[in-house]
Structures are given as C-alpha cells and as structure tokens.
Chain A
C-alpha cells in the first residue's frame, strides 16, 4: 500500500471541508456572530493539512482496494476530527466529547445532538453543522471522485466501500457516470427542496440548512423543537416528499428524472420500501388516533411525518413520539432498524437486505415443505447469487449482535433499557432520535461521556456498513 497516495486523496477531502468551513466563516462574518474566529482558524488548519500532500505527492491514476478502503475510512475519521475543531474552539456546551459526538453525528448523517439550545448557537456554526450532514450524506469520497476526474479507474474501488455494496448489484452503470449521477441528483434535490421551503416562508438560511439535513437524511434542525417549531403542514409536506425521495436509490432517481418513470416502480426494493412506509403510517396512525390525537387528520399528519422521518433515517420531529402508545413506538423501532434503500444516503440494515431476508425465509419454508426441491432466491426474475444472500444474512446478524452488545454496555452506565436500546439503534441506523430520555424532543447531552463515545462508534459502524470497518481493522491479514 502507498500511504502517500492515501494522503493525497485525504488532502482533497480536507480541502472540501476547508471550503465549507470558509463558507460558514463568510456567513458568520455576515451575521456578525461569535463563531467567525473559530471557523476561520479551522478552515485554515484544514486547508493547510489538505494542500500539503498535494504539493508533495504526484497524481496517481490507479489505486488499489486497500488504498480505496483506507481513503474511505480515514476520510471519514479525519472529516469528523475537522468537524470537532470549530465546536471546541467556540466552546459553550462543546467539550471535546460533545464536539466529537456532534461532528460524528453530522458526518454520519445521524442527526443526534447534545445541544439543548440550538437557537443559541451562532448561525455560522449552525451552517457548518448542517454542512457536515450534506458532506457526509453524499460521502465526501464520492464527491471528491466526481469532482476529481483524474482518478479514473480508481473511482469504483472507493464507491464500493462508500455505498452499500448491494447498491451496485441493484443498479449497473459506469463508474465516472455513476458519480456524476449521484452528484446531479444530490445537488438537484437540495436546490429543489430549498426553493420549495422558501415558498413556505422559511428564511434562506433555514431553508438551506433543512434541505442539507433532508437530502442527506440527517436530521439536524436549526430550531430547538425541530420541525415542530414551524407548526406548518406545508413545510412538513415538503419535507415528507423529499425525505421519501432521498430514501430511494439515487441512480433510480436519476432515471426517473430523465424520463424513465417506470424503472423506479419496477424495482422490487422501491416497491417494498413504499409499501412498508404506507403500512407503517397506517399502523402508527391507528395507534395514536384517539390515544394522542382527537382528529384523524392530526393523527395522520404526525404519524406520516414521524414514520417517514425515522424510516428514511432522517430524524426530524414534528411531535414527541416518546409519549406515543407502545405499538407506534414498536413500529418506529422497526423502521429505525430497517431504514430505506441501498444506494441512498439512508443508514440502517436497509430495505434491500430486509427483502433478501424475507425471500430467504420464504425459501426455507418451501424447503421444509419440499425437502428435495431446489430453490433459488429471485428478484425481478433474476437469481440472486448465494454469496450476496449469505452476506446480507451475516450482515443482519452482525448488525443485531453489535446493537445488543452496545445496549448492554450502555445500560452498564445506568441508562434505562429503552433509552439505551433505542439510542444505540438510532445511532447504528444513523436515524437520530430514539425513545425514553433520548426521544424526538430530547437530546443526548445528559448521557455519560463513555456512552457518547459508544454511540459515535455505532454511528461510524452503521455508516461504513460494518464490513468496511472490519476490513479496515484487519487490513494486515489481507491477501
């Protein structure tokens, strides 16, 4: 492995971080808030560290799998460290642990926060907080690849590590084109949502910040009470549409946008995703109607928003779901584990694996009935490779195992079981809010520092889809 090549690409990542820090600095300067100096200093440090490897290391057209994995994992970790800088420099509620939590939560598009007074944070810093979502959502690596055409064949190696491997099985395209598709769809959706939110009377700042958080399926809001602050069915409807869309494979979205409307509905994953959301909204709506809301319209409004928010791993809130009946909480917990489609910015186990899990169960039942029969798992008529099915099953087991282990460790710090389990599940799935003391209207500030570190590890594990991190840690054993 060539560490200098890894450093060169990490340099690009740092430069992109520096650019967004500089934009945040400009906002801070325009608003005259107190975060100008911390943001400028962080931008300078990030820029200097980014530019240095570019001076020394000549461009490389080919990169190996190992190098690709190193760039992805280290890129994420370094971005999270850069994200910490403006927070700790600004001070306030940001101890190092809190700043790390907020930064990892931002870059992994989780959206959990330690802030109790978000509106008291300077606009420049809030913009940086929203930017961490946006940068994390697309995956800084993918962004770098799309902007840096010099990489050539190297791109696909990184892409595999960055986005759920199932996404590449689901949708075929050429590397460079793929990356440009992702970029077009991502930027296009962000612009569209910003314009739509502006029509609802949101300020440009709030509209951009919420668009960043929606398209990245992040969930950081600029308001203390999240989306409930606006109390606007119009704003909620726009967010619901964009959350739903952001949970679909970006390649399919591109096809939809370029006129191939049927493709999106032909996808078994999308059909399951939409069906699950409709069923989920129905179940939660029935559960909260009369128990929490007297009117069916209100029950539908709040349940649809919360199911979509959790089901796409966004994590916005327009109601306090921690006071909802157990059935609705269980449905939301299911969506916290499942989340949306592979190839989107959503986290969690992902719809694709759940579909494969369902098909495997179906296959096993058939096998019980016909022990001598030969059955294959098929999606849209095509047989799915056994290796892919096996990997999906192992992933689900590993995911649940890590979740269980995290919950056990967190409860050892005297956190109640509901908060511990839902908090860990929300962190692993990059959802954001859980239930109990970490509900949709609460925050994670009160948790012990050790718990915050466990949750950030869960966030990174979830975002890098476990296997990437395992491969990274065991890289010496690679052959």
Chain B
C-alpha cells in the first residue's frame, strides 16, 4: 500500500470519527430542542388550562353562595364570567390531549361539570333554595368538589409527565455530550497510534536508509540501502540502489 494512501487513511479516519461525533451531538441536541417544545406544547398548556378551570370553579362556588344569600345580580354575573372562563380553558385542555389517560380525565371533567352546572343553572334566588345551606352542602358543594378534584387529577397527570420529560431531558443532555467526550478520547488515542505507525513505517525506514547511504559513502557497502516495504520508501531505496549501481558502473567505465 502506498504511503499517500496510508497517511490519507489516518486523517480520513480521524475526520470521520469527529464528523460522526458532531452529527450525533447535533442529532441529540435537536431532539432536546423538540422535547423542550413538546414540553411547552403538550404539558404546560394543559397545566395552565387546569389552573384556570380550578379558579373558575371556585369563582362559581362563590357565585352560588351569593345566589343563596339573595344577591341575584352579583351572583349571576360572577357565575357567568367564571363559566365562560371555564369553557375556554376546558376547550384548550380538550384540544391538547397528548398523554395517555388525559382524554378520560377531560371526559370525566365534562360530565362532572355538567352535573354541577345543572344545579346552579336553575333559579336559586327568590326560590325555596335561597338560604338553604342544607341544599348547598348536600348537593352543590359535593358536585363542586367532584369537578375540582377531577381537574386537579388532570393537572397532576400533566405535572408528572412534565417532570418525567424534564428528567429525560437531563439524560438527553448527557447523551449529547457523550459522543463529544468519546470522540475526544478516541482522537487522542488514535493520534498516539497514528504517531506510532508514522514513526515505525515512515521515519524509521527513512533514518535507516539515510544511515545506509552514509555507510555506503564511507565503506562502499550497499547492503544498508534497502527498505522492506513496497511503498514510496521502497521505491526510493530501489532508486538509490540503481543510482549506486550506475555510479559504480560509471566508475568502472572510467
């Protein structure tokens, strides 16, 4: 094999190694980027929606208490505003189902909320229900708690998934660094091996050849002018041998 090919192969291997490490790191970093985006898209939106729903439910609960105390206008407007907010947040959660089990929670929230809404949608102020705390504690409050608990469950599910995704991100970050570390260590080892081969197969034969030429000049002994390899150094040794033969023949002819 020619020297040029051998040297080229060394640099080529080193380049491929670094290139592969770079590609793998870029691939892992891109995946991290996607994961961060997914984290925001999938979980953060749902968690915010759940928080809004809980807040809306609490406002509705206050509205119901206002109705019970006979404050029809204030109670109704509080409830209607909260209901609007709840419906908006619920739609966000419904359109952002990305985790296993999330759809079931959303469905249950819709059912519980409907049940809760039926209770306060009917007239309260000015009816027999006004001031009836027993009705509130027996029917309204449990329905409110039921809906709120389910929304909390949805939030916990998203919280947990967000935590898991964040932990996976930490793992991905080390995955992105690792090819770089391996490539650096490999490149160092490879450079040492390459240096060893260059010394063994290039520098040493050239030195030997130089010593052989010097010995030939001093003693006329041509045995030192040789190289065992068939590469360019071998060709050089053969050319020097030819030169020495030519010189000898020239000397004899004179």
Contact = CB atoms under 8 A, between A and B. Distances in A.
A85 B182 contact: yes
Given A41-B179, A88-B178, A52 B10 contact: yes
Given A49-B190, A91-B171, A91-B172, A37 B24 contact: yes
Contacts of A92: 171
A49 B194 CA distance: 11
Contacts of B27: 37
Q: Is the interface of B mostly helix, strand, loop or mixed?
A: helix
Given A49-B190, A91-B171, A4 B197 contact: yes
A56 interface: yes
Nearest to B1: A55
B20 A44 contact: yes
B182 A55 contact: no
A91 B197 contact: no
A89 B27 CA distance: 13
B8 to A, nearest CB: 10
B6 A56 contact: yes
Contacts of B146: none
Contacts of B21: 41
Contacts of B178: 88-89, 91
A3 B175 contact: no
Interface string B4-28: 0110011001001100110010011
Interface in B158-174: 171-172, 174
Interface residues of B, number: 29
Contact of B175 (A48, A51, A85, A91): A91
A463 to B, nearest CB: 24
A253 interface: no
Contacts of B172: 91
B217 interface: no
B201 interface: yes
A126 interface: no
Interface residues of A, number: 22
A89 B24 CA distance: 10
A207 B201 CA distance: 48
Contacts of B182: 41, 45, 85, 88-89
Given A45-B20, A91-B171, A55 B6 contact: yes
A36 to B, nearest CB: 10
Contacts of B193: 7, 52-53
A56 B204 CA distance: 14
B246 interface: no
A282 interface: no
B203 interface: no
30 contacts: A4-B197, A4-B200, A7-B193, A38-B175, A41-B24, A41-B179, A41-B182, A44-B17, A44-B20, A45-B182, A48-B17, A49-B190, A51-B13, A52-B13, A52-B193, A52-B194, A53-B193, A53-B197, A55-B1, A55-B5, A55-B6, A56-B6, A85-B182, A88-B178, A89-B179, A89-B182, A90-B175, A91-B174, A91-B175, A92-B171
Interface of B: 1, 5-6, 9-10, 13, 16-17, 20-21, 24, 27-28, 171-172, 174-175, 178-179, 182, 186, 189-190, 193-194, 196-197, 200-201
Given A52-B193, A88-B182, A91-B172, 5 more contacts: A52-B190, A53-B197, A55-B1, A55-B5, A91-B178
